[in-house]
Homo-oligomer: A and B are copies of this chain.
Amino acid sequence: MAIRERLNLAVSTLRVDSLQAQACRRQQARCAHQPLPMAPSLRLTYFDFMGRAEPIRLALSIGGVPFQDERLTLNDFAALKPSLPFAQLPVIDVGGESLAQAPAILRYAGKLSGLLPRDPIAAMRADEIIFAVQDAIADFGPSTAEREAARRLEMRRALAAETLPGRLEMIERRIRGRGTEYCAGEEMTVADLSVYCFFRVMRGGDGALEGIPTGLVDAYEEICAVCGRVEAHPKVREWNDAHRKGE
């Protein structure tokens, strides 16, 4: 083969790689899970309290991701309920598509905001804490649904005396065992926002929880330390200053 032909072959091989490098760079940009500049327009719909939506609001706010923070009255909700995907709030509207389930939305917000680890094991550590908090939130279900006041109060007292301390103790031990600054590592993730918002609701941030002493969470040093770190984040402070009510 003449030198010129060999050179042409080498150049065309390199050219293929060059095109692949360009495609790779585009692909990399898509899968980096850093704050995405081109996120579609978002509307988060929930009630006018923290509940299940606050960690999502905080994540988007920390990540500087613009979103419409729609807050419904109970009457608005009753009217909207039949059209909601799972008859529940929160829902997020993503460029016209409505998606439900708080932990699904929280994970999405975490990806948009750079608050969810990309490494699969690190992400599992964060998910584990998110679902542990979900378990604790779910514990409130039966008592919240109970209509008979005395029975409801009795259920809440059992929750405060046994179930919740058990749940909190497990999260506490988990953080202590990891020995990291945050629940799932050295960086703040949406798992910390979950723990922090649960902590605030337990302390009466959404109004006193019937039958639950507001000081219950204070006994858990590691949880309180993480919550202190989250609360000191400038963007969290800024959000809280703009939205705090009667706490």
Q: Give A contacts to B, CB under 8 Å.
A: 7, 10-11, 14-15, 17-18, 20-22, 24-25, 27-28, 30-33, 36, 40, 85-87, 94, 97, 99-105, 107-108, 111-112, 118-121, 123-125, 127-128, 130-132, 135, 138, 141-142, 166, 170, 173-174
Contacts and interface: CB of A to CB of B under 8 A. Distances in A.
> Which of A33, A131, A170 has the most C-beta atoms of chain B within 10 angstroms of its own C-beta?
A131
Chain A contact residues, majority secondary structure: helix
> Which of A25, A31, A174 has the most C-beta atoms of chain B within 10 angstroms of its own C-beta?
A31
> Which of A86, A94, A112, A166 has the most C-beta atoms of chain B within 10 angstroms of its own C-beta?
A86
A141 to B, nearest CB: 8
A110 to B, nearest CB: 9
Contacts of A25: 20, 24
B127 A101 contact: yes
Contacts of A173: 85
A173 to B, nearest CB: 8
Contacts of A21: 17-18, 20-21, 24
B120 A111 contact: yes
A120 B108 contact: yes
Given A15-B14, A17-B14, A128 B104 contact: yes
A103 B132 contact: no
Contact of A104 (B40, B124, B166): B124
Contacts of A17: 14, 17-18, 21-22
Contacts of A121: 40, 94, 97, 99, 108
A44 to B, nearest CB: 13
Contacts of A123: 107-108, 111
Given A20-B24, A86-B174, 13 more contacts: A7-B7, A14-B17, A20-B21, A24-B24, A24-B27, A31-B32, A31-B118, A40-B121, A94-B121, A99-B124, A100-B132, A101-B127, A107-B124
Given A21-B24, A24-B25, A108-B120, A132 B11 contact: no
